[in-house]
Amino acid sequence: MCNPITRSDDDRARQSGGSERTDTADADVDVADAPPPPDPGGLPVLGNVHELASDALGFYERRSAEYGGIVRYDVFGTESYLVTDPGAIGRILVEDHDRFVKGEMPREQLGGLLGDGLFLAEGEAWREQRTAIRSAFFRERVAAYGDSMVEHAREAVDSWGDGAVVDVHAASTEYAFAVLAESLLGSDIEGERETVRAAAEAITDRFDMSRPTSFLPEWLPTPANRRYRRRLGALRATIRDLVTERRAAGPPADPSAADDLLGTLVAAAKLGALDDEELVDNAVTFLFAGHETSALGLTYALYCLARRPAFQDRIRSEIAPLHGDPTPADLRECPALTAAVDEALRLYPPVHSFFREPTEPIALGEYRIPSGVVLTLAPWSVHRDGRWWNAPETYRPERWLRETEDGGVVHGDDRSGPAVGEHPEHAFFPFGGGPRHCIGMRFARQELRLAVATILRRVRLEPVTEELSLQASANTRPDGPVHVRILTRDEPSDPESLDQDEPSKTSW
Ligand code: HEM
């Protein structure tokens, strides 16, 4: 079991300039002598499948609350461990990352879709691809997508009339698709929008766990599977054609000189870092990994902000001095906006869990973990753990803000701020961590903040959907529409409805 990290523990870690203490993740424990983690058991053969299928998010939360940071569960005989201890998560993702692989589980689920692209590649092949592709996500390159991010948000908000009730999940999905498809394909998207959209939709449906057909193997010729395969085939053929055209036109010699993601991939292939199939696998990977995740991040940010009119106003006053819509450079001066987005990613992490497999027996904290088992790292339960967060189930962007000595305010993760992270480092990991952290993190955080700012400059949001009902599909997906009322009139917010969740300044 792990002990709560107190403020003073954390202060000591900060003062010594060291990283967070590792809690139960103790690298010095002798593997052979360590006991196995707690095993509350499950049904014969099925293991815990029924609990996962009926409410995976609740299952994760209950298991970690009852049994601590590392606990066993089973899925059809596959030995699995839920890891929710931040120290152990740091060991797996950062300190000892080379003793773990993504493993069989993600490949079984996603291999047919993502092939040997970055998301599933392992070892040297992964390293080579990541090095070749990363220039597409350098600061200047991501900043160059800023105009498109603002433009599409403006189009969306301009289409909403005063008093309209908008499904922000549908609108955010449309928005994230438009931004990603344009960043992926640049001006080529014009002719191919429908193929790409149809494939993106089929991919999302294929992993929609509320549809019983999603549990059937991909090779079964169900109508849904046939549609999925047809659309995916069309997408791959389109990408191949576009690659041929780009090559004919003379691609940039250097991946960092490309102006869209496909250009980076073509240049990386020219340098020998990818073969042609891996190039297509990666284009599909970006579409899969960057579309629904960002859409969900924006959905939850808008839903949460609709319930916090005072915080909407705070963001509005933060962006009011800007000339027009914000640019990526402006975002550095917008701590409240950044806090609003980070807090939504904490409370509703779009990726509720992801997997690793140890390549050798390893001691994690006081426990022995055998090689080849499934380790499930669950941002969902860690982000909602009362040991690391006050009022964990409440949307409180204020928890990310810090006052500086000169009376200014900074975002808590701003390294120049006075109190960097009073929670353990890996108690917040919506984008994973370590060398395999989300390559699109900068892109997504910029996109979400630009979209929220562009929307809030023009309208006020009021809640309509009272409570979110969520399902643990491939991502943390709402069960139905997420409705928000749009008000374009410039009226002050109703003070009665404000600040109910606003904590005192010092509360974390
Ligand atoms: C709010 C939005 C997003 C969230 C919450 C998110 C979350 C994550 C997480 C948790 C991982 C790590 C998975 C693991 O370690 O097993 C990951 C990896 C990845 N993400 Fe994202 N992501 C987001 C947006 C994006 C975008 C916009 C793109 C691309 C444009 C993207 C592309 C990728 C890729 C390619 C990987 C695999 C990286 C590697 O293994 O080297 N993601 N993402």
Domains of the chain (ranges; CATH) run: 1-114+358-388 (3.30.43.20)
- Predicted TM-score of the model (pTM): 0.89
The residue nearest atom 3 of ligand 1, judged by CA position, is 293
* CA 505 to chain CA centroid, nearest Å: 28
- For 5-47, the pLDDT digits (tens) are 222 323 323 333 333 333 445 555 677 788 999 988 878 778 8
Mean pLDDT estimate for the chain? 85
Q: What is the pLDDT of residue 249?
A: 85
**To test the ligand 1 pocket, which listed residue (438, 439, 445) has its Cβ within 8 A of the most ligand atoms?**
438
- Identify the weakest region by mean pLDDT among 69-83, 116-130, 241-255: 241-255
Q: What is the pLDDT of residue 76?
A: 83
Report the C-alpha gap between 126 and 110 in whole angstroms: 16
Beta-bridge mates of residue 70: 83
Q: What is the pLDDT of residue 118?
A: 94
Q: What is the pLDDT of residue 503?
A: 44
Q: What is the pLDDT of residue 8?
A: 30
Instruction: Judge whether 60 and 52 are in contact, CB under 8 Å.
Output: no
Instruction: Judge whether 408 and 2 are in contact, CB under 8 Å.
Output: no
- For 427-469, the pLDDT digits (tens) are 999 999 999 999 999 999 999 999 999 999 999 999 999 999 9
- Identify the weakest region by mean pLDDT among 44-53, 313-322, 457-466: 44-53
- Identify the weakest region by mean pLDDT among 159-163, 282-286, 367-371, 402-406: 402-406
**Most confident residue range from 222-231, 267-276, 338-347, 386-395:** 338-347
Question: Which ligand 1 atom is at minimum distance from the Cα of 282?
Answer: 35
Residue 212 pLDDT grade (very low, low, confident, very high; cuts 50, 70, 90):
low
Tell which wins on pLDDT, 8 or 182: 182
Pairing of strands 374-377, 78-83: parallel
Six token digits for residue 45: 């053969």
Residue 57 pLDDT grade (very low, low, confident, very high; cuts 50, 70, 90):
very high
Tell which wins on pLDDT, 220 or 175: 175
Q: What is the pLDDT of residue 13?
A: 32
Sheet of 460-463: strands edge to edge?
165-167, 483-487, 460-463
Residue 397 pLDDT grade (very low, low, confident, very high; cuts 50, 70, 90):
very high
- For 476-504, the pLDDT digits (tens) are 999 999 999 999 976 655 555 544 554 43
Pairing of strands 401-403, 100-101: unpaired
**Most confident residue range from 44-53, 396-405, 479-488:** 479-488
Question: Ligand 1 pocket: which residues have CB below 6 Å?
Answer: 102, 118-119, 130, 285-286, 289-290, 293-294, 297, 350-351, 354, 430-432, 436, 438-440, 443-444
Looking at residues 282-299, what average pLDDT do you find? 94
**To test the ligand 1 pocket, which listed residue (281, 293, 302) has its Cβ within 8 A of the most ligand atoms?**
293
Which residues lie closer than 8 Å to 257 by C-beta, 6 or more apart? 267
